[in-house]
Structure 1
Amino acid sequence: MTERVLLVGGGLTAALTGALLRSKLPSLELVLWDKARGAGGRMSTSRSQGDPNCKVDLGCQYISVVPQYEQIHGHIFEELLGAGILKQMSCRVGGMKAMEEGTKHYVAPGGVSSIVKHFIAQAKLNPQFGKHITRVDRKDNQWCVETQSGEKDIFDVVVLTMPVPQILGLSGTVAKSINENKSLRHNLEEVKYSSRYALGLFFDSGTHLSLKTDVDAQYITGDSIMRFVAIDNQKRGSNDDPPSVVFHTSVPFGIGHVDKTPQEVEPILVNRVKEMFPEWPQPLSVKCQKWKFSQVSSAFTGVPGCIKIAEGLLAGGDGFTHSNMDGCIESANSIANVVLQCSNTKIN
């Protein structure tokens, strides 16, 4: 029987995996480590330093569910809708690509990180942040995991849900296992991500903002820097919140500036915003977020949901499926089923 499971990563895949495991094996000891300062991963919500009610989604903007996945994962969306974590998107989005008929769009009124936090709470996890793992070693049929600061702990199962290039950067037995399996290493190296920056602007209550057209969010074409903008509180249907705005850069801009820091890129983005919207007042604060590994552009061959690197050492996440909420749900289901094999229990 598996006793201790470490989930590495603070995003949706790890949180939902924890919730699934907890529902089937209540006595399981689950631990979650993430190098960030808070939960969410690429479902990240940032808050203004001056007013915590002023917040902005810097990663995922809204959730689109096609009929196929609505049928498969409907119970999860119903749960989140019932809890008030999600609601139907009612904002106006300009330039959105046409999608399959019957596709539903959802937003998270409290910010997309609330989805991840919901499943972390369901899993009864006490996440430990600032834990940047660098080494994973096999020791006496268990796994010793070491952080950048030199902390170590032992687990029966380790689940890696961070972006695949970060998995390839780990040292220890994990690196040896990958290097000894040429096919596995090749398939991991073939997983590719786009890169981009996000800029969040936080404004004082009562500030009136407009995108100059009758929309709350807009996909931008023909701009060398910006690809998307949203008046974020209106996009989330939270008009009573202090106003906030999010910009996403284009992929070419992200690739061209991938080696720069957010501090270096922030002035470029702020200046572009001033050019685009000179009538806007000065924001109270600004947050620039670098997404070096944004959306998956090329997934692991066969999109298996998760892979077994070695006995008790798994890798999962959207790199093994696809970059949306349904992809994370599929990966979490795959991971949980592998972990539960020893107890002959399966996720329905």
Structure 2
Amino acid sequence: MSRVLIVGAGLTGSLCACLLRRELQSRVELVVWDKARGSGGRMSTSRPPDPTCQSADLGAQYITATPAYAQSHHSLYSELLSSGVLQPLNAPIEGLRKQDGSRDYVTPLGMSSVVKHFLSQSGAALFFERHVTGLYRRGASWEVQRRAGPSEVFDVVVLTMPVPQILQLEGDIGQMLSEQQRQQLDRVRYSSRFALALFFPPGAVLSLPWAARYVPDNPCIRYVAADAHKRNADVPGRGPSLVVHTSVPFGLEHLEDNKEDVQPIILQELYQLLPDLPQPIATKCQKWRFSQVLTAVPSCPGHMTVHQQPLLVCAGDAFSHSNFDGCVESALSALSAVKASL
């Protein structure tokens, strides 16, 4: 039995684990590490600090199925729809640009439910707060070091974290990257933004004519959503939640600022934009340093093989494109590489 470590419990990592289990079954021992305290990655759902409030998606907001992948990814969409993880997006979103033939979906239980579905299907051993710091080759295996706790040994490692975090890893990975691979990874660029969730008390009313709205002309705010309404998941007796995403220029301008310092700026802009909003009972601010991929790795079909034996693979949306279908393509690509190696 080969011991496989997947670093990153986001969409690419969770789907890769699920597909490996289905393809190789008991031939692999699957382990997933993530440095966060929960799964989801950029598809995270924030629990409300007060149980009388509703949850909020701080990362991805909905999933768009494009015609280009309608056939090749059909089985995954069907699986998520039949299990109730996905539902069609029916709520009004102001400023949403529809592509011809595309379909939009929401997650009644939050975006992290997609990741949790694939993780549960994988049967992988899942560990949080495991921050990988280095990779060292030990014969036919990899010794993986982490910030706190002992290192562990694996036969295969799949890295799905953002590319700048891969390039920061210590150990043998730096020597194994070819000059061409390093140049390709150095070209990857991400957008950055802040997300802010506002949690309101039961009985609070958000008098909004839309479930979500894109704001094209505000220097700070790009998108606002009455989150539970957008997901068709309003629960009677629970307070609503509102999610705000900042613009990319604003995120870049305040990239090195603490989120505690940026939150009052976002709130001030929000109440100028929506002056009738009630006061929240709690807020949560998230800085997405690596939000969406602006420049992906060129000429890379979903993954990059850094070393063949023992296998070390890099995957994620930076090796395809930054949406649901892009992560699926990367997971399928990484699956092929691992299967060929084992």
TM-score, normalised relative to structure 1: 0.94
Q: Kindly indicate whether residue 170 of structure 2 is the aligned counterpart of residue 171 of structure 1.
A: yes
Q: Kindly indicate whether residue 232 of structure 2 is the aligned counterpart of residue 226 of structure 1.
A: no
**Does the CA-based 8 Å contact 1:201-1:244 persist in structure 2?**
yes
Q: Secondary structure at the match of 1:4?
A: strand
Q: What is the RMSD computed on CA atoms of the aligned residues?
A: 1.2
Structure 2 residue identity aligned to 1:270: L
**Does the CA-based 8 Å contact 1:233-1:242 persist in structure 2?**
no
Give the alignment of 1:65-84 within 5 angstroms: 65-84=65-84
**Does the CA-based 8 Å contact 2:34-2:127 persist in structure 1?**
yes
Q: Which moved more, 1:258-267 or 1:316-325?
A: 258-267
* Equivalence for 2:18: 19
How many angstroms apart in 2 are the aligned matches of 1:203 and 1:68?
A: 40
Structure 2 residue identity aligned to 1:333: L
Q: Kindly indicate whether residue 140 of structure 2 is the aligned counterpart of residue 121 of structure 1.
A: no
* Equivalence for 2:43: 43
* Equivalence for 1:91: 91
Q: Percent identity?
A: 45
**Does the CA-based 8 Å contact 2:29-2:124 persist in structure 1?**
no
1:62, distance to aligned residue in structure 2 (A): 0.5
1:47, distance to aligned residue in structure 2 (A): 1.0
Give the alignment of 1:167-316 within 5 angstroms: 167-178=166-177, 181-211=178-208, 214-240=209-235, 242-311=239-308, 312-316=311-315
Q: Which runs of 5+ in 2 are unaligned?
A: none
Task: Kindly provide the CA deviation profile for residues 15-36 of structure 1, in whole angstroms up to 9, marking residues without a partner as x.
Answer: 0000101011111100000001
1:151, distance to aligned residue in structure 2 (A): 2.5
Give the alignment of 1:95-110 within 5 angstroms: 95-99=95-99, 101-110=100-109
1:325, distance to aligned residue in structure 2 (A): 0.5
How many angstroms apart in 1 are the aligned matches of 2:222 and 2:127?
A: 34
1:276, distance to aligned residue in structure 2 (A): 2.0
Structure 2 residue identity aligned to 1:17: C
TM-score, normalised relative to structure 2: 0.96
**Does the CA-based 8 Å contact 2:292-2:322 persist in structure 1?**
yes
How many angstroms apart in 2 are the aligned matches of 1:303 and 1:3?
A: 26
How many angstroms apart in 1 are the aligned matches of 2:114 and 2:98?
A: 26
How many angstroms apart in 2 are the aligned matches of 1:159 and 1:196?
A: 27
CA distance change for structure 1 residues 183 and 342 in 2, over 3 Å: closer, same or farther?
closer
Structure 2 residue identity aligned to 1:66: T
How many angstroms apart in 2 are the aligned matches of 1:283 and 1:201?
A: 6
Q: Secondary structure at the match of 2:71?
A: helix
Q: Which moved more, 1:71-80 or 1:201-210?
A: 201-210
1:265, distance to aligned residue in structure 2 (A): 1.2
Task: Kindly provide the CA deviation profile for residues 268-316 of structure 1, in whole angstroms up to 9, marking residues without a partner as x.
Answer: 1122222222322211210101100010001001241001111211000
* Equivalence for 2:110: 111
How many angstroms apart in 2 are the aligned matches of 1:174 and 1:342?
A: 18
Q: Which runs of 5+ in 1 are unaligned?
A: 344-348
Q: Secondary structure at the match of 2:279?
A: coil
1:170, distance to aligned residue in structure 2 (A): 0.5
How many angstroms apart in 2 are the aligned matches of 1:53 and 1:76?
A: 31
1:205, distance to aligned residue in structure 2 (A): 2.0
How many angstroms apart in 1 are the aligned matches of 2:174 and 2:9?
A: 22
**Equivalenced residues, count:** 337
* Equivalence for 2:325: 326
Q: Secondary structure at the match of 1:294?
A: coil
Q: Secondary structure at the match of 1:26?
A: helix
How many angstroms apart in 2 are the aligned matches of 1:93 and 1:255?
A: 26
1:332, distance to aligned residue in structure 2 (A): 0.5
Shift >4 Å, 4+ stretches? none
Structure 1 residue identity aligned to 2:72: I
